């Protein structure tokens, strides 16, 4: 029978084509009109080590990668060993055999399908097509759309010539033949959509890049760092088409410095990095705040501290993002939930930076960065764009004039009468260095008080549910999508539960937190870090005392984990 929500996990050695196999399955399902959500993990090494790609396809909207797989395709013995405990009765297991590097002891109740991937690949003249044989087998066994796969394979290898295309298509067909020769013992097939939707499939990183282009990005500077580099690659492909400039800086300090220079010159500017790079940017973030120069910094969080887990998932840069600079340094911090959010909140990041003339940090994470998701086709015209307040040329220009809203007009270099000094030193309203106590207190108050309006003018949170509830679950970042599904399951069982999803992490929307807490008998904060960083801020800034539920193993939560925690708290 068709399964409206099927999860296929492909696992094996890095360099065997595991990731490309998962990508092809995802693209084919999306092209057929299915909703997709993926999760992938791979080693920090260039080649070798365990790699995994999980593709979830459904006829209904998806918000996360799911609990576990329905189908496992193991390219080697390590992939089998690492996933064996999750081979539950009823799951399907496709593996490289006979002739592979292992002979599995298949658990009872598991539907096993041996496909001689390695042997068949060698017969076709090269081990490199092993993944195409696996792809063909999965297509045959589980109704992964055949025609879209062939079209995508053709397009993928077209630049390498017709012989390479034909070789891969032949391997794909061979995989289908091998699978067709086996008796199918499980009932699972990917569901067929009732209608095709006007949608695209994007990764979180590409969506951030697209959002920046829509927002009017003029200048991008960055230093490559996992897992943020793909943002720069996306921008490099598309920004020059609209006359923008991209620079690969020599390090993260140079990249944020160049962003501030471009912004001072009147351009919308951004950089993208991860935790180690953000740590290096602390001084220049202070410069952005002190000189009231708009800047957007995307932080794609990864496991830490230090070099940590470069390719793994974590949400542990909240402390750094909110307070990562010397002195009293303000900024706005946003956090994205999913791929569609990566577009919209990137646009909002630019709007807020331009409006409040300060650094804006946009937090993503390693899971979302590489995950791909089906989203409605974005309409650039539907996004509201904001530009900075500019000097009208009247009266004598004071760059840091204290105005009613504490936001001072800006003048681009070369504007007649608009000459001024922009410095990291404390300064008076004209921009001249000034070190008096009265001036420093007045200018710090100006810089911070303009941020008081952020909570009022920006939709800071989403509340999932109405009225009173027994349990309130607070989540941020990509954990929100997991909590959404968990709450739906709990409600289906009659549990009284609400969700609270902040997108504005700082300044903190205290009133919204406290109103939510007052409507719940118990509250819990789910986040992927060791210290419970958001829970810490909630306890420090509000009257809530939520329980903290944290994991930090390099993988995201699953809906089942949240459901289990909720039931435990409500016993």
If pLDDT is split at 50, 70 and 90, which confidence band does 32 have? confident
With a cut of 70, say whether residue 195 has pLDDT above it: no
The tokens describing 142, both together, are: 């589980």
- Give the SS3 label for residue 13: strand
The two domains 2-190 and 201-382 share their CATH topology (first three levels equal): no
Q: Say whether pTM exceeds 0.85.
A: yes
Render pLDDT for 128-174 as a digit per residue (tens, 0 to 9). Answer: 999 999 999 999 999 998 899 999 999 999 999 999 999 999 999 99
Complete DSSP assignment for 181-197: TSPP-S--EEPPPSS--
Give the per-residue pLDDT at 343: 98
Give the per-residue pLDDT at 49: 84
With a cut of 90, say whether residue 274 has pLDDT above it: yes
Whether the Cβ atoms of residue 446 and residue 426 lie closer than 8 Å to each other: no
Strand partners, 300: 364
Give the per-residue pLDDT at 100: 87
DSSP 37: E
Give the per-residue pLDDT at 4: 79
Where are the strands (E) in 88-177, listed by range? 92-96, 111-115
Average pLDDT over residues 202-219: 98
Average pLDDT over residues 413-435: 95
Taking CA atoms, 119 is separated from 22, 78, 175, 392, in Å, by 21, 18, 11, 74
Give the per-residue pLDDT at 68: 92
* Residue whose tokens read 């260095």: 433
Kindly state the helix (H) or strand (E) to which residue 334 belongs, with its residue range: strand 332-335
- How far is residue 228's CA from residue 483's CA, in Å, rounded to a whole number? 25
With a cut of 80, say whether residue 196 has pLDDT above it: no
Whether the Cβ atoms of residue 220 and residue 262 lie closer than 8 Å to each other: no
- How far is residue 307's CA from residue 42's CA, in Å, rounded to a whole number? 16
With a cut of 90, say whether residue 93 has pLDDT above it: yes
- How far is residue 405's CA from residue 463's CA, in Å, rounded to a whole number? 29
The tokens describing 460, both together, are: 């800071």
* Residue whose tokens read 């360099």: 15
Give the per-residue pLDDT at 44: 67
Render pLDDT for 222-233 as a digit per residue (tens, 0 to 9). Answer: 999 999 999 999
Q: Map out the domains of the chain as residue ranges.
A: 2-190, 201-382, 389-458, 459-569
With a cut of 80, say whether residue 287 has pLDDT above it: yes
User: Is the bond preceding residue 227 a cis peptide, omega within 30 degrees?
Assistant: yes
* Overall residue count recorded for the chain in this entry: 571
Average pLDDT over residues 380-384: 96
- Please state the three-class secondary structure of 488-535 as a single string: HHHHHCCCCEEEEEECEEECCCHHHHHHHHHCEEEEEEEECCCCCHHH
Strand partners, 39: 54
Give the per-residue pLDDT at 121: 94
Domain 201-382 coded CATH 3.50.50.60: no
Whether the Cβ atoms of residue 477 and residue 363 lie closer than 8 Å to each other: yes
Kindly state the helix (H) or strand (E) to which residue 540 belongs, with its residue range: helix 533-541
Residues contacting 36, CB < 8 A, separation 6+: 26, 29, 30, 55, 56, 57, 58, 62, 201, 372, 373, 374
- Give the SS3 label for residue 108: coil
Residues contacting 13, CB < 8 A, separation 6+: 48, 49, 50, 51, 75, 76, 78, 79
Q: Of 282, 274, 272, whose CA–CA distance to 247 is shortest?
A: 272
Domain 459-569 class?
alpha beta
Average pLDDT over residues 38-67: 86
Give the per-residue pLDDT at 459: 87
Supply the mean pLDDT for the chain.
95
- Please state the three-class secondary structure of 411-474 as a single string: CCCCCCCCCCCCCCCCECCCCCECCCHHHHHHHHHHHHHHHHHHHHHCCCEEEECCCCEEEEEE
Give the per-residue pLDDT at 125: 82
Residues contacting 426, CB < 8 A, separation 6+: 290, 433, 434, 435, 439, 440, 443
Give the per-residue pLDDT at 194: 65
- Give 3-state DSSP helix, strand, coil % of the chain, rounded to 5: 40, 20, 40
If pLDDT is split at 50, 70 and 90, which confidence band does 45 have? low
Angle separating helix axes 18-31 and 130-142, nearest 10 degrees: 40
Residues contacting 396, CB < 8 A, separation 6+: 417
DSSP 553: S
Give the per-residue pLDDT at 126: 85
Q: Of 399, 409, 402, 400, whose CA–CA distance to 355 is shortest?
A: 409
If pLDDT is split at 50, 70 and 90, which confidence band does 199 have? confident
Burial 42-55 (b: 16+ CB within 10 A, else e): bbeeeeeebbbbbb
The tokens describing 132, both together, are: 């195409």
Render pLDDT for 464-485 as a digit per residue (tens, 0 to 9). Answer: 999 999 999 999 999 999 999 9
Taking CA atoms, 191 is separated from 27, 118, 319, in Å, by 15, 30, 43
- How far is residue 91's CA from residue 88's CA, in Å, rounded to a whole number? 6
The tokens describing 239, both together, are: 């920004």
The architecture of the domain spanning 2-190 is 3-Layer(aba) Sandwich (3.40)
């Amino acid at each position: 029978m068709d399964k409206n929500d099927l999860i296929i996990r492909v696992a094996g050695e890095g360099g065997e084509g595991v990731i490309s196999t998962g990508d092809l399955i995802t693209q084919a399902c999306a092209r057929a009109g299915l909703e997709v959500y993926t999760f992938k993990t791979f080693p920090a090494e260039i080649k070798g080590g365990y790699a995994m790609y999980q593709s979830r396809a459904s006829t209904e909207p998806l918000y996360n990668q799911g609990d576990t797989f329905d189908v496992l395709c193991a390219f080697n013995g390590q992939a089998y060993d690492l996933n064996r405990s999750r081979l539950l009765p009823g799951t399907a297991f496709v593996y490289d055999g006979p002739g592979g590097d292992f002979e599995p002891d298949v658990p009872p109740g598991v539907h096993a399908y041996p496909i001689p991937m390695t042997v068949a690949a060698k017969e076709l003249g090269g081990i490199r097509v092993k993944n195409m044989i696996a792809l063909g087998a999965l297509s045959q066994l589980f109704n992964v759309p055949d025609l879209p796969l062939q079209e995508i394979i053709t397009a993928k290898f077209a630049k390498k010539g017709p012989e390479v295309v034909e070789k891969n298509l032949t391997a794909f067909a061979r995989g289908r033949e091998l699978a067709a020769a086996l008796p199918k013992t499980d009932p699972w097939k990917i569901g067929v959509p009732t209608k095709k939707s006007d949608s695209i499939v994007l990764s979180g990183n590409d969506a951030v890049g697209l959002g920046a282009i829509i927002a009017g990005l003029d200048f991008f500077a960055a230093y490559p760092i996992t897992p943020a580099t793909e943002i720069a690659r996306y921008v490099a492909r598309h920004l020059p088409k609209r006359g923008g400039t991209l620079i690969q800086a020599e390090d993260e300090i140079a990249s944020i410095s160049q962003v501030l220079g471009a912004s001072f010159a009147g351009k919308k500017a951004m950089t993208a990095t991860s935790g180690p790079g953000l740590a290096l940017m602390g001084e220049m973030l202070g410069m952005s705040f002190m000189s009231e120069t708009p800047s957007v910094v995307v932080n794609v969080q990864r496991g830490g501290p230090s070099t940590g887990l470069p390719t793994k998932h974590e949400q542990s840069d909240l402390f750094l993002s909110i307070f990562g600079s010397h002195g009293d340094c303000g900024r706005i911090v946003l956090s994205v939930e999913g791929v569609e959010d990566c577009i919209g909140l990137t646009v909002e990041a630019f709007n807020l930076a331009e409006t409040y003339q300060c650094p804006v940090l946009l937090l993503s994470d390693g899971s979302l960065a590489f995950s791909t998701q089906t989203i409605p086709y974005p309409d650039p015209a539907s996004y509201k764009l904001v530009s900075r307040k500019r000097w009208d040329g009247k009266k004598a220009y004071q760059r840091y004039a204290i105005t009613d809203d504490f936001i001072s007009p800006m003048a681009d270099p070369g504007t007649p009468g608009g000459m001024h000094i922009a410095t990291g030193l404390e300064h008076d309203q004209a921009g001249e260095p000034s070190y008096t106590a009265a001036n420093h207190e007045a200018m710090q108050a100006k810089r911070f008080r303009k941020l008081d309006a952020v909570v009022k003018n920006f939709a800071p949170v989403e509340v999932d549910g109405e009225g009173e509830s027994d349990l309130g679950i607070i989540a941020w970042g990509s954990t929100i999508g997991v909590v959404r599904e968990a709450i739906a399951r709990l409600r289906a069982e009659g549990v009284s539960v609400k969700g609270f999803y902040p997108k504005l992490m700082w300044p903190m929307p205290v009133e919204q937190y406290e109103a939510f807490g007052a409507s719940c008998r118990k509250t819990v904060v789910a986040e992927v870090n060791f210290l419970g960083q958001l829970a810490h801020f909630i306890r420090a800034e509000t009257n809530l005392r939520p329980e903290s539920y944290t994991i930090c193993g390099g993988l995201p939560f699953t809906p089942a984990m949240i459901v289990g925690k909720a039931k435990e708290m409500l016993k």
